[in-house]
Structure 1
Amino acid sequence: MKNNTAIVFITGAFVHHSCWDEWKKYFESKGYTTNASPWPHKNAPAETLRNSHPNAEIAANRLSSLTDYYASIVKALPEKPILIGHSIGGLIVQLLLQKGLGAAGVAIHPVPPQGVFTFKFSFLKAGWGPLGFFTSTKKTFLMSFRQWQYAFTNGMDCDEQKDAYYKYLVPESKLIVRDTITRAAKVNFENPHAPLLLTSGSTDHTIPASLNYANYKKYKHSNSVTEYKEFEGRNHFVLGQPTWREDADYILNWLNEL
């Protein structure tokens, strides 16, 4: 795939869009143009957003409107871009590809579409708090440091975990998280689609590798390129781990081979 194609990076939940800064520099150095637009109501520094908690505007974000938001960004470009998303951003990559809105897609540790589920303990433990059952959906969910350690940065040094927490953590909509098990997250796996790579991490508590593999195995269209790669030692903070460049190298090579 030509390296002057635009790349649209799609951020996941709970983290600031600046998590893509090093990724943008990397792909721009390879000749790509990049875009990493913040989610609606999140165009402010991470600390400012945390201090706004509970934030009613962020709390009102929904998956369908977020998918439409990124669709509008893609449609405004002169050519179909490459879509690269993390977590819920990875799910949005899958949703946009089925609408024919990307030249190729990379879903990094994606939240799975409707109907792809696991009862693995780490997945249930990491997701219980953000779902916010028995709490008001008019208020955002702000992950505690202990929750962050388990759901995102498990296996990292405590100082690294703290640095990442204060640099990237933002409050989140409980409705966005709940929407991932509804029709707003439905993918028709039998339809043709642009080339898609799904990646996973062996130590990811939030989206276990087995769940990403089940997501990959759902795709049925034999003439569409769908590939899967599991990386050893990657947690859900994969974009900011010291190994991020290895992941980016793999993705770049995959794109170059299309």
Structure 2
Amino acid sequence: MEGIKTKTVVFVTGAFVVNTGWDEWQSYFQSKGYETMAPPWPFKDGTAAELRARQPNDTDLAKLTLNELVDHYMDIVKALPEKPIVIGHSLGGLITQIIVSHDLAAAAVAIHSVPPQGVFPYEFSFLKAGWKALGLFTDLDETYLMSFEDWQYAFVNDMPLDEQQKAYDENTIPESKVVARGGLTSAAHVDFEKPHAPLLLTAGSIDNIIPAHLNHRNFEAYKSNGSVLDYKEFEGRNHFVLGQPTWKEDADYILDWLDKNA
């Protein structure tokens, strides 16, 4: 791990899923000499089954805002003795980009990141996969739970049915519609002109909810200012990229990138 200035990695979980989706990643990074943590969102400290049992009446989670969620992770990062490496997936990728914008990371990776404010997601597949989470014309005091059918389209497309079901059972949890709506507000703001720590954005060729060309527009929104900024599209990756059989190939690419840039 020559050249690494910090060996602490904070994994940031996205929406709709439990934080244990990082378990294999944590073990793998630890085997490479890193200390790791994957703290849950507020009100999401439990198994997928436990959290689903609260649906739809988990009012604490239902009222959670994106600003509060970002502050939660920034407080975790600030409490560490040195700036960590931050790696986030999906909405966790957006939070990672915000953390980088606040100069709180030594290096960062945003995996299939939800686009920040100003990167307009006009893709049909994004709208089809994500619009229900906004909860339009529904009670904001109730959480949203993605159906298995929607999960198949948004997360695990092109996987065998039994693997899709297993992934759903082990990972899918209720979500705050308020957090989802926050992605359309200034809470999702990133300063694209500001110099920043080394940042890698990754995308998947078959991701429906965060299509690769949406990810690339996110990447292109950053202004050239001498900061290390890289983009990588992986073939055959859907939005369940953290749990696909190819996850270790992605982790190896990220580890190599960190070795060169962190």
TM bin, normalised by shorter chain, reads: over 0.9
Q: Which residue of 2 aligns with 1:253?
A: 256
Q: Which residue of 1 aligns with 2:111?
A: 108
Deviation of residue 28 (structure 1)?
Answer: 0.2
What SS class does the counterpart of residue 242 from structure 2 fall into?
Answer: helix
User: Where do residues 153-192 of structure 1 align in structure 2 (5 Å cutoff)?
Assistant: 153-192=156-195
Q: Is the 8 A contact 1:3 1:32 kept in 2?
A: no
Deviations 1:157-208 (A, max 9, x none): 0000000000000000011111011000011100010000000000000000
Q: Which moved more, 1:116-125 or 1:96-105?
A: 116-125
Q: Which residue of 2 aligns with 1:213?
A: 216
Deviation of residue 227 (structure 1)?
Answer: 0.4
- When the two structures are superposed, what TM-score results if normalisation uses the length of structure 1? 0.98
Q: Which residue of 1 aligns with 2:132?
A: 129
What SS class does the counterpart of residue 36 from structure 2 fall into?
Answer: strand
Q: Is the 8 A contact 2:62 2:176 kept in 1?
A: yes
User: Where do residues 8-27 of structure 1 align in structure 2 (5 Å cutoff)?
Assistant: 8-27=10-29
Find 2:237's aligned residue among 234, 237, 245.
234
Deviation of residue 243 (structure 1)?
Answer: 0.4
Q: Is the 8 A contact 1:113 1:187 kept in 2?
A: yes
Distance 2:241 2:5 in 1: 24
**1:91 to 2:129 alignment:** no
Distance 2:214 2:105 in 1: 24
Q: Is the 8 A contact 1:3 1:31 kept in 2?
A: no
AA aligned to 1:23 is W
Deviation of residue 141 (structure 1)?
Answer: 0.3
Deviation of residue 5 (structure 1)?
Answer: 1.3
Q: Which residue of 1 aligns with 2:120?
A: 117
Find 2:78's aligned residue among 75, 96, 111.
75
Find 1:35's aligned residue among 28, 34, 37.
37
Q: Is the 8 A contact 1:114 1:181 kept in 2?
A: yes
Deviation of residue 118 (structure 1)?
Answer: 2.7
**1:203 to 2:206 alignment:** yes
Deviation of residue 128 (structure 1)?
Answer: 1.3
5+ unaligned residues in a row in structure 1: which ranges? none
AA aligned to 2:32 is K
- When the two structures are superposed, what TM-score results if normalisation uses the length of structure 2? 0.97
Q: Which residue of 1 aligns with 2:64?
A: 61
Runs of 4+ in 1 over 2 A off after TM superposition: none
Q: CA RMSD in A?
A: 0.9
AA aligned to 1:157 is P
Deviation of residue 57 (structure 1)?
Answer: 1.1
Identity of aligned residues (%): 59
Q: Which residue of 1 aligns with 2:150?
A: 147
Deviations 1:14-57 (A, max 9, x none): 00000000000000000000010000001111101001001111
AA aligned to 1:62 is T
5+ unaligned residues in a row in structure 2: which ranges? none
Deviation of residue 222 (structure 1)?
Answer: 2.2
